[in-house]
Structure 1
Amino acid sequence: MSKPLQPRNLPSQKRSIARQEQILEVAGELLEKLGPAALTTIRIAEEVGISVGTLYHYFPNKEAILHAMGQRWLQQMANTLTQDEHYSPATLQEFVELFVNHMHQLYRKQRGLLHLVQGMFAIPQLMTLDEQHDELVINHVASRLEKLGVPLPLSERQRIGRTFHETSHALLLVVVNQSKPRGSKTLEELKRMLHTLAQSLP
């Protein structure tokens, strides 16, 4: 039987919620420093300043912590795309600028993102979160293309949305792990690539 991935107790008090968030923040920092193989519940508990038993009150194992981090990443992505909907770019070029800038801000905030994304590919229980993440972005781009007057059927707009997503996702993971000068150049190159794609649309 596979280990449970959900927290055993959903915290109802602000103090408990704050503790759960603290555990996830520390786990993200350690994941960034150590990588997934060296990340353990013992190390996380030590960094938080609690016993392993207390940690298990919130998360029964390391996989549950990674799953919760993935869920939080998914929710932050949904929030970012909802925020993006409040803007009304007049052209595809303006949309590219908004899309890349908002995604960049989000990717920079998530500690240990590269390892978390790798975990989504490697850990079967996290693959569903990765699929949901892809679907969110692809459908968002497809919807925006329709609003901007791109005369293509949904399936084609989704195909283009996947190209937007796969390209930006791969390069943003590079950007957040580069020095600021190199990251800025890579970010501009990403925008140029997506601008070129947008200009080719009917």
Structure 2
Amino acid sequence: MTDVAHEAGITISSMYQYFPNKGAVISAICEEYLSQQRSNLKAAFRTPPGTLEEVVDRMDILMQSYYQTLRGDRVLKKIWSGAASDKSVLSAEFDDTLDNVETVHAAARHFVSNDKLAEFRKTLTVLFGFANAAVNQAVDLDDTEGQRTIEIATRMLRASWNAGIHPLAEIRSDHVSA
């Protein structure tokens, strides 16, 4: 805590005013990171996708961005890896995943008939969980192996997308392309 206060240019007593312990600092950093990633996802899906392929293309780009952000920030990478067993961080990450699923679900629901929307949401949840796990694994590897892991995960996600989402797809007659 002393090192963090020194780096922030504040006194240790000021530090404790805002954060009761090191875990609270780590949670706040993780929350901020998740908030930034959530904003990126919302921006990527602000315009509704025209095809299911466009949905998965956007998700690929976001997974690569997520990986590059963690890979590019040594401190964040270390914090994220160390916080992997912190219950509050895990809970925040799961809540973030559900929020991201809802964003994609809302943007792409026009590809799925109403009776399949619940299965669509569940399939998206599984795919997001898989992507998160792949990125978390990849950042713990050296650069070459990490990138290779992301490439493999991208292929697997696309195969899972084709197996899990495409059977649900049925462009509804009430949808008008944007």
TM exceeding 0.5: yes
1:58/1:108 CA distance change after superposition, 3 Å: farther
1:101 positional shift = 1.4
1:132 positional shift = 1.5
Aligned to 1:71: 31
Q: Give aligned pairs, total.
A: 160
TM-score scaled by length of structure 1? 0.65
Query: Equivalents in 1 of 2:81, 2:118: separation in Å?
Result: 26
Aligned to 2:119: 156
1:169/1:179 CA distance change after superposition, 3 Å: same
More helix by share: 2
Matched, 1:112 2:76: yes
Aligned to 2:160: 197
Query: Equivalents in 1 of 2:94, 2:162: separation in Å?
Result: 28
Aligned to 2:15: 55
Contact 1:138 1:165 in 2 (8 A): yes
Q: CA RMSD in A?
A: 2.7
Point out where structure 2 has 5 or more consecutive residues left out of the alignment. 168-178
TM-score scaled by length of structure 2? 0.72
Contact 2:30 2:89 in 1 (8 A): yes
Query: Equivalents in 2 of 1:158, 1:75: separation in Å?
Result: 21
| Offset from partner CA, 1:119-149 (integer Å, 9 cap, x none) | 36433x44542332121122233334413x1
Aligned to 1:179: 142
Q: Quick one: higher RCO (CA 8 Å, sep 6+), 1 or 2?
A: 2
Point out where structure 1 has 5 or more consecutive residues left out of the alignment. 1-40
Contact 1:142 1:161 in 2 (8 A): yes
Matched, 1:122 2:94: no
1:103/1:58 CA distance change after superposition, 3 Å: same
SS state of the match for residue 153, structure 1?
helix
